[in-house]
Amino acid sequence: MTADFETQLRAVSLRVTRPRLAVLAALRDHPHVDTDTVIALVRADQPTVSHQAVYDVLRALTDAGLVRRIQPAGATARYEMRVGDNHHHVVCRSCGAIADVDCAVGDAPCLTASDDHGFVVDEAEVVYWGTCPGCATAGTAQ
């Protein structure tokens, strides 16, 4: 797996560094985590890595397209390694849990605007909001 990450980094002309490998491994094992969680996961393995280093790694990986950054309204930014497939997310309004939803259409822009105002539309961002099973159960228990 580490060899895989090295190949991915080289493919986008990023140097292979231990923090970059650690961030990729963290996101592979924990999709949709926020920055603080990534820092905790990386530091469990490499205690000397600074917060700033993790921020920089996340930005470099996102800019290079290896990592996708999602930010549902009102939530902190989350990161995941599932990129390039135009999938969407369902978000729990109560606890912020996030799960992947495959795109019903399969390719961007996914929705046809009722009026595109002459824009060439290449992306529609869909977020499904609701209550996750855990919160729904907790709600009925009260």
| Binding residues vs Zn ion (CB under 5 A) | 80, 92, 94-95, 97, 100, 103, 105, 110, 132, 135
If the CB atoms of residues 56 and 96 are measured against Zn ion, the closer one turns out to be 96
Residue 48, amino acid = T
Cβ of residue 22: shortest distance to Zn ion, in angstroms? 20
If the CB atoms of residues 14 and 97 are measured against Zn ion, the closer one turns out to be 97
If the CB atoms of residues 5 and 79 are measured against Zn ion, the closer one turns out to be 79
Token reading at 90? 């369902």
The DSSP bridge partners found for residue 33 are: 79
Cβ of residue 88: shortest distance to Zn ion, in angstroms? 6
Helices (H), 12-115: 18-29, 35-45, 51-63
Report the C-alpha gap between 128 and 104 in whole angstroms: 13
Cβ of residue 129: shortest distance to Zn ion, in angstroms? 11
If the CB atoms of residues 6 and 100 are measured against Zn ion, the closer one turns out to be 100
Token reading at 18? 């231990």
Q: How many CA atoms lie within 13 A of 49 on its CB side?
A: 22
Cβ of residue 15: shortest distance to Zn ion, in angstroms? 27
